[in-house]
Amino acid sequence: SNVFVGSAVLNCYVKLSTLVNARRMGTLRNMSLRNSMIWGYAHNGRGEEAIAMFEKMIKDTNLKPNNVTLLGLLFACYHAGLILEGYMYFNKAVNDHNNPHLLQPEHYACMVDMLSRSGRFKEAEELIKSMPLDPGIGFWKALLGGRQIHSNKGLTKLAAPKIMEIDPRDVSSYVMLSNSYSATQRWQNVSEIRRKMKEMGLKRISGCSWIEVRGQVCVFVNADKKNELKDEVYRMLALIKQHLEEVCTVL
């Protein structure tokens, strides 16, 4: 009966892809549980079931969808390749004058990626240009990351100057730009990006993490081969990986 406990249990079932158990939890009486279930279907590529749950909620309950609901629905359509359905729900939200704050930058980002995935690049570009809000650098970087997959020059051309304008010293932005240009074989642009990074004194930083053991901080750098304990570290990682695979097999 506790909403927080119910959401936690439901999320656990979702992450383990055991949606049958999630459905057995009984009536989803609040928006939080409904959202968790829709997102569960989305993460497991079951877009049609996510849509069915959403439509049933609209028809049979007084619950009002929020921006989390809509994002889950768009995400479900995206992963299931239901482009037309996603476009329909997005347009309904655009025309929902009773809820003007329903659409956020992440909804536009998902919709742009959905259109790009189906090769509708022109519509994606037009959607970006018609956005009534300033999405921020996160949107443009997400868009640029997606272009590496879709290799669309037009969207790269839109995103690149925006990113450089917002944060001209962000190393990750230059790396993403370089990768995006590489995906479209624009080697001259790649060279220009690297030259600009060198002139500005920007260097690519390797990913790292750290833990504290008995008062001592241990730093782990991505693909580190210089650590004195590298053999033990990689051996332990192999054991952890094996253990996780065995646990997942049992589940």
Give the domain-ending residue among 103, 123, 156: 103
Note whether 74 and 110 are within 8 A (CB).
yes
Of 141, 150, 139, 142, nearest to 115 by C-alpha is 150
Angle at 105 between CA 102 and CA 107, to 5 degrees: 60
Tell me the helices (H) and strands (E) count for the chain, helix number first. Answer: 13, 2
Residue 74 has pLDDT above 90, yes or no: yes
pLDDT for the residue 25: 46
Confidence of residue 69 (pLDDT cuts 50, 70, 90): very high
Residue 110 has pLDDT above 50, yes or no: yes
Residue 227: give the domain boundaries.
210-251
Confidence of residue 28 (pLDDT cuts 50, 70, 90): low
Of 148 and 96, the one with more pLDDT: 96
- Of 32-41, 216-225, 231-240, minimum mean pLDDT range: 216-225
pLDDT for the residue 85: 94
Could you give the dihedral angle defined by the CA atoms of residues 171, 176, 181 and 183, in that order, rounded to the nearest 10 degrees? 150
In a domain, 126, yes or no: no
In a domain, 184, yes or no: no
**Entry pTM:** 0.62
CA distance 197 to 191: 10
In a domain, 155, yes or no: no
Q: Which of 135-139, 168-172, 247-251 has the highest mean pLDDT?
A: 168-172
Give the domain-ending residue among 82, 103, 124: 103
Of 196 and 153, the one with more pLDDT: 196
> Which residues are paired to 219 by β-bridges?
210
Residue 24 main-chain phi, psi, to 5 deg: -75, -5
Confidence of residue 207 (pLDDT cuts 50, 70, 90): low
Q: How many residues does the chain have?
A: 251
Give the domain-ending residue among 103, 126, 150: 103
Of 32 and 241, the one with more pLDDT: 241
In a domain, 133, yes or no: no
| DSSP-assigned letter for residue 133 | S
Whole-number percent of the chain with pLDDT over 70: 80
CA distance 159 to 149: 15
In a domain, 135, yes or no: no
In a domain, 136, yes or no: no
In a domain, 239, yes or no: yes
251, containing H or E segment: none
Confidence of residue 22 (pLDDT cuts 50, 70, 90): very low
State the average pLDDT over residues 55-72: 88
In a domain, 154, yes or no: no
**Domains: count for the chain:** 2
State the average pLDDT over residues 50-65: 86
